[in-house]
Amino acid sequence: MKLYNTLTRNKEEFKPIGKEVGIYSCGPTVYNFPHVGNLRAFLFADLLKRCLLFKGFKIKHVMNVTDIDDKLIKKSEGDKEKLKEITIKYERAFKKNLEELNIIPADFYPRATESIKEMVEIVKKLLERGYAYKTSDGIYYSVKKFKDYGKLAGINLDNLKEGARVNNDEYDKESAKDFALWKFWQEEDGNIFWETEIGKGRPGWHIECSAMSSKYLGEHFDIHTGGIDLLFPHHTNELAQSEAANGKKFVNYWLHNEHLMINGEKMSKSLGNFYVLSDLVNKGFSLNAIRYLLISTHYRQKLNLTDETLKASEEAVKRILEFIANAKNREDNEKIISLIKETKKAIEKAIDDDLNIALVLSSIFKFIREANKLGAGKKAYELVIKTNEILGLSLEKEKIEIPEEVSQLVEEREKARKNKDWKKSDDLREEIKKLGFILDDAKDGVRVRKI
């Protein structure tokens, strides 16, 4: 199995450190409902997990919850109790979205506010080792002290302009490139602070993930995931502070998913194309179709969400559901066995090639076309159900049940058509229609669907 490692800019064979694959995914900042761009990142992490599980790996997955930052303090007006009310509300909404999209829950969802002790320990190490320094308003990481700073994002520190995105705040620090590890209490913070050995205050953003990942996965683990927007500065800073504090490699494989586009444009409230999950559901799209679309393009490619692509996803899900319903109660034609073996190999090969989901989908729809021609039965049904362990569609939610009586009539009609008994074929079609089902005759076989 090969995965594209952002750190090396290469596809590399995946070799886990131990018996259990340690995965850390950057989770939500819970100050609002997650938008569909966020959901793509969480669905990518789910796809990665499903592919690893499909191949027999055991997994330990951690996804953090950022429940303290500047935006949250402002929204809570510096009140610690109000802060908790806000974050709990949006954390619940986030987990509800994960459930609705059939995302396998992480093993741990640590909150930043519950990991202060671990953050303080890392900051102390960085101070002791000379990578951090104190000023009047906080403790900062000196990026020039870490010789490999920027290696993850491919950034040369010498070429990075002062005040570039690595830091755009105006605090008392030695260089605009340096970033905050710990912010000392200010009046506008109200009663939101922690009394610690390193001072009264609160954590900077980047230190949170270093603390929470090492707490559950150790100082060196297998895979770190997140959206491409987090590559710089967040993941760049996370790597620098973790390796400086612990004196060892932080993560073996960094995986980043690309942006979600809406009608060919970046999502933005000013453009009126800012969607949360309920917006798409209210437009009439099923959760299965939304999930399908958000995983259907390779994770390292931009994905365009439009009403048309959602409608196409709805049709794709419908085809899978109809195939399952038609094949479930039939006996297989022996000719289909070699097609099943061939499709299994194609799916495994696609997964092994950096989670090539587009190839998995094309293989399964090619299989459905060919299997329908050959007479798909239980073994074909089992293959599609097994493949859904990767796709993660909630097949039970939209399950199509075809009564045995209808299935028998369909088989009788197929025999009549082969014998060119068109009158009997038409009579059987009408009989099936009276039972509430329509037949679609196509090149790849007959499809049965509810009226």
Instruction: Tell me the longest C-alpha to C-alpha distance in the chain.
Output: 91
For the stretch 368-378, pLDDT in tens is 999 988 888 89
For the stretch 404-426, pLDDT in tens is 888 888 889 988 988 999 989 99
More confident residue, 293 or 397: 293
Q: Provide, rounded to the nearest whole percent, the portion of the chain with pLDDT above 90.
A: 78
> 3-state class of 37 per DSSP?
helix
The per-residue pLDDT of the chain, averaged, comes to 93
The boundaries of every CATH 3.40.50.620 domain in the chain are: 2-257
Distances, alpha carbon 276 to alpha carbons 86, 280, 295, in Å:
18, 7, 16
As a whole number, mean pLDDT of residues 389-402 equals: 87
Task: Name the band, by pLDDT with cuts 50, 70 and 90, for residue 167.
Answer: very low
User: CATH number for the 306-450 domain, one of 1.20.120, 3.30.230, 1.10.10, 1.10.287?
Assistant: 1.20.120
For the stretch 193-206, pLDDT in tens is 999 999 999 999 99
pLDDT at position 375: 80
> 3-state class of 27 per DSSP?
coil
Distances, alpha carbon 387 to alpha carbons 319, 365, 391, 419, 421, in Å:
14, 11, 7, 36, 38
For the stretch 194-250, pLDDT in tens is 999 999 999 999 999 999 999 999 999 999 999 999 999 999 999 999 999 999 999
pLDDT at position 161: 61
As a whole number, mean pLDDT of residues 94-101 equals: 98
More confident residue, 29 or 398: 29
The boundaries of every CATH 1.20.120 domain in the chain are: 306-450
pLDDT of residue 443 exceeding 70: no
pLDDT at position 170: 47
Q: Which CATH class is domain 2-257?
A: alpha beta
pLDDT of residue 156 exceeding 50: yes
In b/e form, how buried is each residue of 340-361, taking b as 16+ CB within 10 angstroms?
beebeebbeebbbebbbbebbb
pLDDT of residue 363 exceeding 70: yes
* Rounded distance between C-alpha atoms, residue 313 and residue 302, angstroms: 17
* Rounded distance between C-alpha atoms, residue 120 and residue 445, angstroms: 65
pLDDT of residue 192 exceeding 90: yes
Q: How many CA atoms lie within 13 A of 85 on its CB side?
A: 8
DSSP symbol at 310: H
